[in-house]
Amino acid sequence: MTRVSILSAVRRRRAPALLLAGAMALSACTSTVAGRNGLYAKPIGNAPVTANPTPYSAALTCMGQYASSGNVVAPRIAVGRILDYTGKQEPEGGAKITQGASLMAISAFAKAGARLVERYDTSVSELELKYANNKLIGDGDDNSYRKIKAGSVPGSDFYLVGGITELNYNISSSGIDAYGGDVDINDPKGFLNAKTYVLNIGLDLRLVETRSLEVVDVISYQKQIIGREIGAGIFAFFNNQNIIDISAGTRALEPVQLAVRSVIERAVLEMSANLYGVSGPDICNFSDPLGTIGLTGNFVTAYDNQESNNAFTRQDPSRWHDRRDRTVRRGLRGRYD
């Protein structure tokens, strides 16, 4: 056997050994014995919590500021069930569309400054009422029980119901696939592909006057969602002994559930504008520095600190984060200087 053939044989045997060693090294990164911190492995990622706005969240906030600054009496709103009527399911189980559309609508009305009354989940209130009726709940240190007072629960003026009614796949799609290379088997070959596709979701909501059950507002909206996929690669032989096969690509789909939130926020925005008697976006030419309405929703201040509360810092991704907020870092380390 010649020296060249011996070296070739050694190289061929070395490659599988290197691959096996690499696989064992990767598997060794996860220990089967918990460390001193009680963990097998430290979770990756440290992205902070951020606000979850849509293109209509700023307008909802503006609507709420207008109502509070203009002394507009906001009606009491209850949100009922906004169900998924598309019937679409994932192959591995579970619905393709969010089942939390009602919660999104509650958040949207909060951003718009509406006075919300809970009707979606009253299980805790009903249990408290049952305990109070049996004189089991006390509110003070004098062993007195909570009194049930007639009319203590405010009623709603309107309630919102509806459903997600459309999910249409592949409304339009386009793409290209290209493959090129020399006919010689030893010469490199390459490929390129690019695709785009469009789908949409639709929503139908109605606002009902609580006392008369008259439907006073109906809105039907849809939003299209786009996705794209791009890929490229190369394949070649070298010296009749080595192979190179490299491919790379990217794939992105506009978040479907965020599209649902966007449609809901646009519908709530239009309904709120009707309830407040707003003519259009021209009301957003002002700002209320003392307002408590931000991109994350509205809230009732627990203390009289409206000028310094955290209404507009709730969307700050660095606030309260132990690696981004210097105040928290000093506190966690026992230093407050």
pLDDT in the model for residue 182: 77
Closest among 235, 207, 170, 230 to 79, alpha carbons compared: 207
pLDDT in the model for residue 24: 59
Beta-carbon count within 10 A of 293 CB:
24
Largest Cα span, the chain: 102
pLDDT in the model for residue 134: 92
pLDDT in the model for residue 327: 80
Residues linked to residue 65 through DSSP beta bridges, in sequence order: none
Question: What is the rounded CA–CA span in Å between residue 233 and residue 275?
Answer: 57
Q: Which residues contact 266 (CB under 8 A, 6 or more apart)?
A: 56, 221
Contact 64, 113 (CB under 8 A): yes
Question: What is the rounded CA–CA span in Å between residue 119 and residue 154?
Answer: 11
pLDDT in the model for residue 288: 58
Closest among 220, 206, 297 to 263, alpha carbons compared: 220
pLDDT in the model for residue 6: 45
Q: What is the pLDDT along the chain (337 residues), one digit of tens a residue?
A: 554 454 454 455 555 555 666 655 555 566 788 888 888 888 888 899 998 999 999 999 889 888 888 778 889 999 999 999 999 999 888 999 999 999 999 999 999 999 999 999 999 999 999 999 998 988 776 778 888 889 989 999 999 999 999 999 989 999 999 988 877 777 788 989 999 999 999 999 999 999 999 999 999 999 999 999 999 998 887 777 778 888 999 999 999 999 999 999 999 999 999 999 988 888 887 555 555 677 887 777 777 766 666 766 788 888 888 888 888 765 555 544 4
pLDDT in the model for residue 9: 47
pLDDT in the model for residue 236: 85
Question: What is the rounded CA–CA span in Å between residue 7 and residue 13?
Answer: 10
pLDDT in the model for residue 337: 44
For the chain, the domains span: 301-337
